[in-house]
Structure 1
Amino acid sequence: MVDQFGERNVNQVVDTGKGESDSVAGYELPLLLFAGFRTLIDRLHAELAHQGHPDLRPAHGFALQAIAAGGPRGTTASDIGRHLGVSKQAAGKTVDRLLGLGYAERADDPADARRKLVRLTPHGLDALARSAAVFDRLHAEWSATLGAERVRDMESALRRVVPAETTFRLDAGSWLGG
């Protein structure tokens, strides 16, 4: 495609003029998947803010999940970093923010006095419980709009194409050259 100045545009998203159709350009699939993800996450955070968690950000939610995966005993910043696909330092910054907001706390590791564990506070557990309830409601809304079978089929199809070992990684900076 050539722009108004005669320059060739590569990888530019353009309106195909097709409107809504079962046949869309290949580049639209990742855009639609991302837009669906953003819609759910943005609605979740708007609702969480309304329910008393205005400072939570998407990265915090993923970190809270990683901390919860360690169980009530807790987990280390290194484990959180591995779970999220970020450095120990990046995980430590997120943990520090969660500590400051009252969602997590540090504790001594009873098995190794040199290690510090991170675990959720009641405030963090509340945020996760509220998140689960909001996600259930959003899932029900999508099912009501699209049909429950269609949503189940979409989830099943995505499980087939997404590698089983894939977890959500926050290292999106590498996508952008960071």
Structure 2
Amino acid sequence: MHGFVLQAIGSGATTATGLGRRMGTTKQAAAKSIEALERLGYAERGVDPADARRKVVRLTERGKDCLHRSALIFDDLRAGWEKAIGADRLRAMEDDLRKVVPADPMRIDAPGWFGGA
């Protein structure tokens, strides 16, 4: 679960409300995820420079490093898939998957997996 939250924060969900919307959860559930990531040193909260009433969450260097490492691991996995089935078949599979996966923001609730709200 933390990986999904890290990715959502890294892609711009900077408030508990925005994170909840992106993840398909409540603001309260998002706040609990943020608290967990703060305790682990992956995220930190601060005041929005444009609006002092607004609390923003951002990744720490440790959080950014975690995302970077996960991207490297995925690249290694993808290279293995390419070696196993070839570049053309892998590209075709990825194209097909893009056609059946909704282009909406990432959601981890069941309706989101099927393209619903």
Q: What TM-score bracket applies, with the shorter chain setting the length?
A: 0.7 to 0.9
The alpha-carbon deviation at position 140 of structure 1 amounts to 0.4
Cα distance in 2 for partners of 1:171, 1:164 equals: 15
1:102 pairs with 2:44: no
Alignment of 1:1-178 (within 5 A): 59-70=1-12, 75-165=14-104, 167-172=105-110
Conserved? CA contact 2:45–2:58, under 8 Å: yes
The root-mean-square deviation of aligned C-alpha atoms, in Å, is: 2.0
Structure that is richer in strand per residue: 2
Conserved? CA contact 2:24–2:112, under 8 Å: no
Cα distance in 2 for partners of 1:163, 1:116 equals: 30
Question: Which structure's CA Rg is the greater one?
Answer: 1
Q: Which has the higher contact order (CA 8 A, sep 6+)?
A: 2
Residues 174, 164 of structure 1: alpha-carbon distance in 2 compared, 3 angstrom cutoff: closer
Offset from partner CA, 1:77-127 (integer Å, 9 cap, x none): 111111111111111111110000000001111111111110000100100
The alpha-carbon deviation at position 139 of structure 1 amounts to 0.4
The alpha-carbon deviation at position 168 of structure 1 amounts to 2.8
Structure that is richer in helix per residue: 2
Cα distance in 2 for partners of 1:115, 1:140 equals: 42
TM-score of the pair, normalised by structure 1: 0.59
- Percent of aligned positions that are identical: 58
Cα distance in 2 for partners of 1:125, 1:94 equals: 16
Where does structure 1 lack aligned partners over 5 or more consecutive residues?
Answer: 1-58
Cα distance in 2 for partners of 1:89, 1:132 equals: 28
Q: How many residues align?
A: 113
Where does structure 2 lack aligned partners over 5 or more consecutive residues?
Answer: none
